[in-house]
């Protein structure tokens, strides 16, 4: 945290309509390399926002900061109106302690490119671990919830399998169920289909489609699948060089992009396939 003026950031958001997620002037640096440069981004409750852009544009960093896997070097992130990695002390915002971060982190769930399932636990145990030991749910209730979610992702017959015995698509669906079992308000999908064989990508995108249709989850998704992004997003953000170069409804971004860099990027990826 640098010696920035924290007084310009509100202690909590209290407008009429508080966005579920607000990035306010957020900066992320690795040494001299600026990964995200004064990012402002709001995501409303129930909104599905897709982040696209060339690699190195900072899009994955956006999700990782929101999951508190990366610290931020400037600005404030608000989740449901409350600062995520800051807390109030003496009328101003200071870096939050572990307790505050753990409490705030409970609002957010994340799925990773490489699933990151616990290999020594069955699909069911993967889903039950955090509800039982973080939320303190009774085992029976956590089990019911996990089985229901594994059913929702189409894996009711795989509950007792270890990850090593599941295909990539199945593992990613377990990972989605595992994240949902914590009942997050915000779900983050970080290139969740990038490590999958083409023929199983549909299994995973179908689950995400189902979430968009049936749940009022707020979702942020980083993806390279432009077709899926176009079909499913409420809004698409095109990142370039640590900034949002252009954003809007998918019809506009994909149909008539205004910025030259967006046009170049889209024509390049659409050509590639």
Q: Which residues bind other proteins (CB under 8 A)?
A: 67-69, 102, 105-106, 108-110, 112, 114, 116-122, 129-130, 133-134, 162, 164-165, 178-179, 182
Query: Whose Cβ is closer to other proteins: residue 30's or residue 270's?
Result: 30
User: To the nearest whole angstrom, how small is the minimum distance from the Cβ of residue 105 to other proteins?
Assistant: 5
Query: Whose Cβ is closer to other proteins: residue 108's or residue 196's?
Result: 108
Enumerate the β-bridge partners of residue 21: 43, 79
- Helix, strand, coil content of the chain in percent (nearest 5): 40, 25, 35
What 3-state DSSP class applies to 185? coil
User: To the nearest whole angstrom, how small is the minimum distance from the Cβ of residue 264 to other proteins?
Assistant: 32
Tokens of residue 168, six digits:
């990539």
User: To the nearest whole angstrom, how small is the minimum distance from the Cβ of residue 273 to other proteins?
Assistant: 27
User: To the nearest whole angstrom, how small is the minimum distance from the Cβ of residue 116 to other proteins?
Assistant: 4
> Count of CB atoms within 10 A of residue 36's CB?
27
32-37, long-range: CB < 8 A, 24+ apart? 34/242, 35/61, 35/242, 36/61, 36/62, 36/65, 36/242, 36/243, 37/241, 37/242, 37/243
Query: Whose Cβ is closer to other proteins: residue 1's or residue 134's?
Result: 134
What 3-state DSSP class applies to 1? coil
User: To the nearest whole angstrom, how small is the minimum distance from the Cβ of residue 115 to other proteins?
Assistant: 8
User: To the nearest whole angstrom, how small is the minimum distance from the Cβ of residue 102 to other proteins?
Assistant: 6
User: To the nearest whole angstrom, how small is the minimum distance from the Cβ of residue 229 to other proteins?
Assistant: 22
Burial grade of 27 (CB within 10 A; 0-12, 13-18, 19 or more):
middle
User: To the nearest whole angstrom, how small is the minimum distance from the Cβ of residue 117 to other proteins?
Assistant: 7
Note whether 189 and 222 are within 8 A (CB).
yes
Query: Whose Cβ is closer to other proteins: residue 17's or residue 98's?
Result: 98
Query: Whose Cβ is closer to other proteins: residue 133's or residue 215's?
Result: 133
Q: CA angle at residue 264 from 258 to 266, to 5 degrees? A: 85
Tokens of residue 193, six digits:
């289909």
Query: Whose Cβ is closer to other proteins: residue 51's or residue 110's?
Result: 110
Query: Whose Cβ is closer to other proteins: residue 34's or residue 69's?
Result: 69
How far is it, in rounded angstroms, from Cα 68 to Cα 220?
15
Query: Whose Cβ is closer to other proteins: residue 18's or residue 67's?
Result: 67
* Strand order across the beta sheet in which 235-240 lies: 108-111, 186-190, 218-222, 48-52, 235-240, 243-248
């Amino acid at each position: 945290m640098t010696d920035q003026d924290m007084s310009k950031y509100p202690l909590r958001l209290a407008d009429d309509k508080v966005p579920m997620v607000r990035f306010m002037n957020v900066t992320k640096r690795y040494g001299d390399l600026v990964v995200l440069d004064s990012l402002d981004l709001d995501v409303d409750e129930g909104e599905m926002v897709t982040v696209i852009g060339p690699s190195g544009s900072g899009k994955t960093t956006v999700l990782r900061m929101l999951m508190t896997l990366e610290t931020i070097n400037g600005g404030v992130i608000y989740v449901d109106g409350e600062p995520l990695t800051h807390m109030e002390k003496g009328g101003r915002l200071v870096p939050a302690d572990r307790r505050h971060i753990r409490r705030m982190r409970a609002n957010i769930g994340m799925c990773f490119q490489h699933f990151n399932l616990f290999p020594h636990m069955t699909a069911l145990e993967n889903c039950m671990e955090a509800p039982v030991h973080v939320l303190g749910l009774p085992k029976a209730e956590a089990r019911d919830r996990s089985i229901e979610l594994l059913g929702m992702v189409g894996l009711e017959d795989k509950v007792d399998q270890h990850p090593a015995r599941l295909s990539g698509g199945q593992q990613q669906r377990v990972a989605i169920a595992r994240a949902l079992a914590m009942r997050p308000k915000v779900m983050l999908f970080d290139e969740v289909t990038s490590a999958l064989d083409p023929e199983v990508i549909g299994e995973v995108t179908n689950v995400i489609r189902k979430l968009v249709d049936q749940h009022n989850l707020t979702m942020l998704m980083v993806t390279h699948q432009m077709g899926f992004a176009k079909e499913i997003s409420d809004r698409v953000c095109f990142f370039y060089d640590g900034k949002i170069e252009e954003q809007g409804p998918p019809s506009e971004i994909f149909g008539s992009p205004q910025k030259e860099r967006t046009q170049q990027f889209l024509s390049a990826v659409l050509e590639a396939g």
